[in-house]
Amino acid sequence: MKTYDLFIQSEKYSTKWEKYFDVYDSIFEKYRDKKITFVEVGIFNGGSLEIWKKFFHPESRIIGIDLNPECKKFEKKGIEIFIGDQSNENFWDDFYKKVGKIDILLDDGGHTNMQQIITSIKSVPNINDDGVLLIEDTHASYKNEFGNPSKYSFINFTKKLIDDVNFKYPNLGRFRKSLNNYIYSIQYYESFVAFHINSKKTFTNKSINNRSANKEMIDDFRHENLIKKKMLKNKLVKNFKFLYKYRFFKWCYNFILNKIIYFKYISDTIKCLKFFK
C-alpha cells in the first residue's frame, strides 16, 4: 500500500500537503522490506506514526519525538516515544546514546531554522550508511512567521552543505562544522530536502586513466585557452626570439596572456548574468 492510502485510512488525525506522498513513496520504498530504525520528529496526534508502523517492515523500530509530553500516550508495541526539544543539542546526544544509529529520520517538527539545522547537524553522523535524513516543510525558509527569508535560513544552510559536499574535491576548502564525511548526496523537492548518507562513498576522489593513457592524444578543447596560449607563445618565441630569452619579457608575455584569459571568463560571466535573475 502507498503512503497516501495509509494516510487516508489512519484513524488518528494527521494533515499533509498533497504532493508529499509521492516524495515519501519514492524515498522510503527501498527500505520497506528491511528491518530498520525509523524516527519522526513531530508526533502531534500520532496520525503519521500509524502510517509508518504499517508502511515499514513489521519488525522495524518506529520512534516518534515530540516536545509535548502528552504525546507519550501514543507509545505502544512497536512504537517508541521520546519527549524532548529538537533544538536542544543535549537532547540529541542523549537520544542517540540510548537509541544507537538509525536508518531514517523524518523531521516534521517545529520547522524553525534552528530546529531544522540542529536536527541535521546532530543526526547526520548518527545515520547508518545508505540511510536518509528527510527534512519536511522547508518552505518555512521563505516565510515571515519563521523569521525568514534570512541569510541563516535552513535552505541557505543546505546551500552551504552543497559546498561542503563539493569540498571533498581535493584542496577546495573545508568548513569547521563539515558533514562531508557522511553526506554522499543531497536531493531537493518542493518543501523537502533529502540528505543521503554513506560514509563509505565519501572518500577523497582521485583521477584514474584507462589502459590507453600513454597513446598519442589529440587536443582537449576544454583547454582551448591554453592551446591558444601555447600557439601564441610559439609564434612569439619565433618572431621575437631575441627578446624572449630575457626573463622580464617572458614575465610580461605571461602576465598579458593570463589577463586575456581572465577577461574572457569575465565576459562569459556577463553573458550568463541573465540566467541568475
The footprint of ligand SAM (CB under 6 A) covers 14, 16, 40-44, 47-48, 65-68, 85-87, 108-110, 115
Are 101 and 92 spatial neighbours (Cβ–Cβ below 8 Å)? no
d(CA 204, CA 139): 33
Q: How far is the CB of 145 from ligand SAM (least distance, A)?
A: 13
Coil vs helix vs strand at 46: coil
- Which residue number has the CB closest to ligand SAM? 110
Instruction: Report phi then psi at 21, rounded to 5.
Output: -65, -35
Q: What is residue 205's DSSP assignment?
A: P
Measured from the CB atom, the residue of 40 and 80 that comes closer to ligand SAM is 40
Are 92 and 66 spatial neighbours (Cβ–Cβ below 8 Å)? no
The angle at the Cα of 171, spanning 167 to 173, to the nearest 5 degrees, equals 45
Q: How far is the CB of 21 from ligand SAM (least distance, A)?
A: 11
The angle at the Cα of 247, spanning 242 to 250, to the nearest 5 degrees, equals 75
Measured from the CB atom, the residue of 40 and 103 that comes closer to ligand SAM is 40
Q: How far is the CB of 114 from ligand SAM (least distance, A)?
A: 9
Measured from the CB atom, the residue of 114 and 257 that comes closer to ligand SAM is 114
Q: How far is the CB of 174 from ligand SAM (least distance, A)?
A: 30
Measured from the CB atom, the residue of 68 and 254 that comes closer to ligand SAM is 68
Q: Give the rounded distance of the alpha carbon of 236 from its chain centre.
A: 49
Measured from the CB atom, the residue of 14 and 225 that comes closer to ligand SAM is 14
Q: How far is the CB of 54 from ligand SAM (least distance, A)?
A: 14
